[in-house]
Structure 1
Amino acid sequence: MERAFIYGDSLLKATVPDEDMHYRFHLPEVMAQYPTDRLEVVNRAKMGATVTKGLSLVEHDVQRGMDARWALVAYGGNDSDFDWEAIAAAPEQEHLPHTVLPEFIEKLRCAVQELASAGVQPVLMTLPPIDGQRYFQFISRRADGGSILRWLGDVGRIYRHQELYSDAVAALAMTEGLPLIDVRRQFLPMRDLPRYIAADGIHLTMTGYRCLFDTLAGWIRERL
């Protein structure tokens, strides 16, 4: 039987906000839809994880000895995010994302090289799109939306900034000669995309997770 590791954030734990915006993990019911007789999946995704956490997990697992054919490394969503309360408190100041783009690329490169050196095939994936308007409304529940908007310039910048990180992942896959699962491409053509994205604008609905995990499973299936 083959084995695959998954390194990622709350998306790879099938996290959905409920009506009160409390997060619930639905990974077991999502994974139950896929056969387990030919592939064992070790899911190392962590809620809120950035590539910094991902790199330390990869280093830890490689040090212990990894027996796996593939490892999906899927970060960028939390890396591209900001401290919105700090922005609301001082919209005239400069604010950096949790991981600036050059550092994100470098740490992602380190993680995939670490895996390759251990004989594990690293696989990258683009990020599912977010709904910037919904996310703006979500963060405005806890911080002053007017101040945040003054810093942003326009709400569309939220979407564009996240896309920068997705594009950086695709570019790294090309320069490093790595397999890339283009998840974003599955979502973008959809006419009814809003029903795939959760109410907070950044997670997916159960329909969205089915699309995400079907895309990942389809890639694996072709190679088993």
Structure 2
Amino acid sequence: MPKDVCVLGDSVILGVVYDEARSRYSILRDGAVTSLTRGLGMRVHNLARMGQTSVEARERFAEAIKGGLKADALLIELGGNDCDLNWAEVGADPDSDHSPRIPVPVFKEAIADIAHMADANGMAPVFFTLPPLAPLKFFDWVTKDGIPKDNVMRFLGDLSRIYRWQELYSLSMMKLASEIGAPLIDIRERFLVQKNYEDRICLDGIHPNAGGHALMKKAISDFFGSRPGRLGSLAPA
């Protein structure tokens, strides 16, 4: 089991939650990363940032390596910001095509670069799937400040498109992990087997709440608990 791990991700792995009582975001004290530090006794180098995309994460990780970063494993949790759209533009022009912040091919390339960079520097890359989005919550959230709901719905066609679009990035993580031989922590499955998984997602429809982080912590603990030895290198290209 690794003793030093680096976490490269976004607000999901950071433990950012929406506090409805205070109407603002805060960081959960007992978030998923605590399963590494308190539960498994690992030292964590946290390179996760709120709003971070795969392209930004690649740059941050490269700089950290240049600065002397050393770890046994790199946990990669990205995609939620990459798949996001400019919803104000969608609402203003629903009949045009709108591109995500980071298109899927660029996303996959950035994740592959990160994984190979980690492997070349003695860190075993470990991929995460994305927690599922709650479509209605997310739709209400992105349109709450005056973006026309009818226009956004015209662009989408149906609410499930929001879910499918975000799922595409999660599936890309799974496919890439299989292609390069990287282990995968499937946190998405932990949510989807719940009777009402949306109860474990915040009001914004995208961030796991405390109940969601409990699922993530269990997935992380189970993963490392089943691998007491050193994680292996990637498959040869």
TM-score of the two chains, using structure 1 as the length reference = 0.94
Match of 2:214 in 1: 210
Kindly indicate whether residue 25 of structure 2 is the aligned counterpart of residue 23 of structure 1: yes
Match of 1:187 among 181, 184, 191: 191
Of the three residues 86, 94, 99, the one matched with 1:96 is 99
In structure 1, the gaps of 5 or more residues are: none
Counterpart position of 1:76: 79
- Structure 1 residue aligned with 2:172: 168
Q: Percent identity?
A: 30
1:123-160: CA deviation from partner (whole Å, max 9, x where unpaired): 10111111011100111102111111111111110000
How many residues are aligned here? 223
Runs of 4+ in 1 over 4 A off after TM superposition: 31-34
Q: CA deviation at 1:193?
A: 1.2
Cα deviation for residue 32 of structure 1 reads 5.1
Q: CA deviation at 1:66?
A: 2.5
Moved more, 17-26 or 73-82: 17-26
Report the Cα offset of residue 220 of structure 1: 2.1
SS at match of 1:175: helix
Query: Secondary structure of 1:129's partner?
Result: coil
Match of 2:159 among 155, 175, 180: 155
Are 2:52 and 1:52 equivalent residues in the alignment?
A: no
Identify the residue that residue 3 of structure 2 maps to in structure 1: 2
Q: 2:129 aligns with which of 126, 129, 132?
A: 126
Contact (CA 8 Å) 2:118, 2:125: kept in 1 or not?
yes
Matched, 1:220 2:224: yes
Alpha-carbon spacing, 1:168–1:216, altered in 2? closer, same or farther (3 Å):
same
After TM superposition, give the deviation of residue 65 of structure 1 in Å.
Answer: 2.1
Q: 1:182 to 1:37 in 2, by over 3 A?
A: closer
- The answer for unaligned runs of 5 or more in structure 2 is 229-237
Cα-to-partner distance string for 1:142-189 (whole Å, 9 max, x where unaligned) = 211111111111111000000000000000000001111111111111
- Judge conservation of contact 2:53–2:102 (CA < 8 Å) in 1: yes
Seen in structure 2, the aligned counterparts of structure 1 residues 137 and 93 have a Cα distance that, compared at 3 Å, is same
How large is the RMSD of aligned CA atoms in angstroms? Answer: 1.6
1:122 and 1:189, CA in 2 relative to 1: closer, same or farther beyond 3 A? same
More RCO (CA 8 Å, sep 6+): 2
Q: With structure 2 as the length reference, what TM-score do the two structures score?
A: 0.89
Secondary structure in 2 aligned to 1:220?
Answer: helix
Confirm or deny: 8 A CA contact 1:7 1:43 kept in the other structure.
Answer: yes
Deviation at 1:221, TM superposition (A): 2.9
